[in-house]
């Protein structure tokens, strides 16, 4: 700075309140700390020989000073340069904490500022260095370097000391903002990874899309780009979740989350907290806020499986979600807007349930904007060869089998004549069971469609490979569940339980058996 510039600064009148207000406004003008720091430097230079400004953070665990932001009259820039301190420098930082503002005549001579000055090539400059403290917590350091020609006067040092609190707040806000940005990027990266994994596991290809599911996929392609609710209807095990996933993947929400809720598997006492979330302290054990599954589906798709099992109270609250697009957390006072698309599925006859007031009529008509009926496997037997091959490849990968077993034409013909009361889920379980029992190059599916069983037990009364004609769906399900329960010696859960063979959750199976009056547990005795 030349003499005329110094004289010009010295003649500028300075009011402490105006200086504090204007400098603070500039420090808080942007969440980008480097921009705010540059604006503050341009203002401060009117009153003192300030040539550079910077924010630094000290990490006591590693003894490193990190430069966070730095500004010159030309521009401000974000930096993340870490400078290790010497032992003397660490002791000075960690012990001399009574002096919150210091004037350093030559930066290169100080054990703390020397390494930083070395990076900035500012050995011969003087500086005002302030510790930034909020609520007795050391947050970082604010430094103002001179112009190289003139040192700071006591009055100018006093003016800078007024900015200690605003600088501490600006640094804290900026660091938290950067942390949130990093976390957002990590979450976005995790979401992409999990979506890719979900696609890999479920597969974007729907087996039978060009054959038995041709009409279904035509309706899927029509409704997928829209925001309309979809109701998937079909027997248990027909692949309703796969179709829901296909709708999501073909929609404009494909990059958002796909959240599945099994309405029949969540106890009624936990349904509200699971669907809508809760606030901290809402009930005993609520030690922190938790987002519900509806809120987690924000920007994506909410798949409500087994919607017919939803209790009446929950049906009312779900209706509000569909109509108003908003929820209230349990114990909360704030209404939260949600941007979701709802796909529901059920194997039950909702119209009959509506007639007996088990299902709300307004919710039914709200969900049945675009119903899709998924045919059972016995009506799309042309898909069986493709499904068998698909499941063989899938199970071989899960079992770490390098050779893919085959299926003879005779066995495939037997599989195509079988009734498949458990639909695709039963077929998948049959493939897995055959791959466990048959370690040769071909699977024989000896348990399917034959009176003689290849397993160790003998047939017992109640075994039925094909259901007699003229029976209702409930009667067919009753026969099949009884048969599987007999095979499992009455066990519902576990590796050898009926729930695993049927491919359903144990609590779902118990509810189904209770509905069909099939005894289990102590009642079976």
pLDDT in tens, 89-129: 777 766 665 567 888 888 878 777 777 787 777 788 888 98
pLDDT in tens, 45-76: 989 989 889 898 888 777 788 888 889 998 88
Q: Where are the domains of the chain?
A: 3-178, 203-375, 378-449, 457-525
Q: How many whole angstroms separate alpha carbon 353 and alpha carbon 337?
A: 30
Fold of 378-449: Helicase, Ruva Protein; domain 3 (1.10.8)
Q: What is the pTM of this model?
A: 0.55
pLDDT at 288 over 70: yes
Structure tokens at 355: 């007639």
- The full 3-state SS of 447-491, as one line of letters, equals CCCCCCCCCCCCCCCCCCCCCCCCCCHHHHHHHHHHHHHHHCCCC
Choosing among 3.40.50.300, 3.20.20.20, 3.40.50.280, 3.30.450.40, the CATH entry for 3-178 is: 3.30.450.40
Mean pLDDT of 370-382: 92
Contact 39, 109 (CB under 8 A): no
pLDDT at 11 over 80: no
Considering only the top CATH level, what class is 457-525? Answer: mainly alpha
Mean pLDDT, the chain, whole residue set: 82
Q: Side-chain half-sphere of 321: how many Cα atoms within 13 Å?
A: 27
pLDDT in tens, 317-368: 889 888 888 888 888 878 888 999 999 999 999 999 999 999 999 999 999 9
Return the residue matching tokens 């990027």.
185
Choosing among 3.40.50.300, 3.30.70.2190, 3.30.70.20, 3.90.1170.50, the CATH entry for 203-375 is: 3.40.50.300
pLDDT in tens, 350-361: 999 999 999 999
Between 242 and 460, the higher pLDDT residue: 242
pLDDT in tens, 505-520: 888 888 888 888 888 7
Mean pLDDT of 389-416: 87
Q: How many whole angstroms separate alpha carbon 282 and alpha carbon 272?
A: 12
């Amino acid at each position: 700075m030349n003499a005329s510039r110094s004289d010009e600064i010295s003649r500028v009148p300075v009011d402490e309140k105006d200086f504090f207000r204007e400098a603070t406004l500039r420090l808080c003008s942007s969440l980008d700390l480097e921009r705010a720091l540059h604006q503050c430097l341009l203002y401060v230079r009117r009153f003192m020989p300030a040539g550079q400004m910077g924010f630094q953070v000290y990490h006591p665990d590693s003894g490193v000073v990190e430069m966070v932001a730095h500004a010159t009259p030309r521009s401000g820039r974000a930096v993340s340069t870490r400078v290790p301190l010497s032992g003397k420098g660490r002791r000075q930082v960690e012990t001399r904490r009574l002096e919150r503002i210091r004037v350093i005549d030559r930066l290169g001579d100080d054990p703390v500022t020397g390494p930083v000055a070395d990076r900035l090539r500012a050995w011969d400059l003087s500086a005002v260095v302030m510790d930034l403290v909020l609520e007795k917590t050391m947050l970082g350091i604010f430094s103002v370097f001179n112009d190289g020609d003139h040192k700071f006067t006591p009055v100018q040092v006093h003016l800078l000391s007024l900015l200690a609190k605003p600088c501490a707040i600006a640094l804290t806000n900026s660091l938290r903002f950067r942390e949130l940005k990093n976390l957002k990027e990590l979450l976005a990266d995790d979401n992409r990874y999990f979506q890719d994994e979900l696609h890999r596991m479920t597969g974007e290809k729907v087996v039978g899309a060009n054959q038995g599911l041709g009409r279904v996929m035509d309706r899927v392609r029509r409704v997928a780009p829209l925001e309309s609710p979809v109701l998937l209807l079909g027997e248990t095990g027909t692949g309703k979740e796969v179709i829901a996933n296909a709708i999501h993947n073909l929609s404009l929400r494909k990059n958002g989350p796909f959240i599945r809720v099994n309405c029949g598997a969540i106890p009624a006492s936990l349904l509200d907290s699971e669907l809508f979330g809760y606030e901290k302290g809402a009930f005993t054990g609520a030690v922190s806020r938790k987002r519900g599954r509806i809120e987690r589906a924000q920007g994506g798709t909410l798949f409500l499986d087994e919607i017919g099992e939803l209790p009446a109270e929950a049906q009312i609250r779900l209706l509000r979600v569909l109509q108003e697009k908003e929820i209230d957390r349990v114990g909360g006072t704030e209404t939260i807007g949600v941007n979701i698309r709802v796909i529901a599925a059920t194997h039950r006859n909702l119209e009959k349930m509506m007639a007996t007031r088990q299902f709300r009529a307004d919710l039914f008509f709200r969900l049945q904007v675009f119903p899709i009926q998924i045919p059972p496997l016995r009506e799309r037997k042309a898909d069986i060869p493709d499904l068998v091959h698909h499941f063989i490849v899938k199970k071989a990968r899960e079992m770490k089998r390098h050779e893919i077993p085959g299926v003879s034409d005779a066995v495939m013909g037997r599989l195509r004549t079988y009734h498949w009361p458990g639909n695709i889920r039963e077929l998948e379980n049959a493939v897995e069971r055959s791959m466990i029992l048959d370690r040769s190059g071909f699977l024989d599916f000896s348990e399917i469609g034959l009176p003689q069983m290849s397993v160790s037990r003998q047939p017992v009364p109640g075994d039925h490979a094909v259901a007699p004609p003229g029976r209702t769906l409930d009667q067919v399900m009753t026969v099949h569940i009884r048969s599987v329960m007999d095979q499992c010696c009455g066990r519902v859960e576990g590796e050898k339980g009926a729930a695993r063979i049927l491919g359903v959750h144990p609590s779902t199976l118990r509810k189904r058996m209770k509905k069909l009056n099939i005894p289990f547990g102590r009642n079976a005795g």
